[in-house]
Amino acid sequence: MLDEKFYTTDQVARILQIHPFTVLKFIKQGRLKGIKLGRVYRIMEKDINTFLEERMTQPKKNTKEKTKQEEKEITNNSSEEKEKNEAGRYYII
């Protein structure tokens, strides 16, 4: 832990290109880990990297696979039996 590099909220803000108050907000919300030393926070380099990795976007799924799954769901729903309740309304079993 002592070998780790520590950053101030201003340094982290410059790295992430956001306002320093936003860094403080992320720390208080628990989205970014920080160590409070007196009245100021220090953020470890590994915590910045973890914060960024958690927010990386993932590639979209193949749309063909998604449409095949939707088609299966539609056919399953249409093949289900319907029963009439006492009020005359139908519901799916």
Output the CA angle 77-80-81, nearest 5 degrees. 145
Burial of 38 (0-12, 13-18, 19+ CB in 10 A): exposed
Mean pLDDT calculated for residue range 12-19: 96
Q: Which residue has the higher pLDDT, 19 or 90?
A: 19
pLDDT in tens, 27-67: 999 999 999 999 999 999 999 999 999 998 887 776 666 66
Q: What is the pLDDT of residue 58?
A: 81
Predicted TM-score of the model (pTM): 0.60
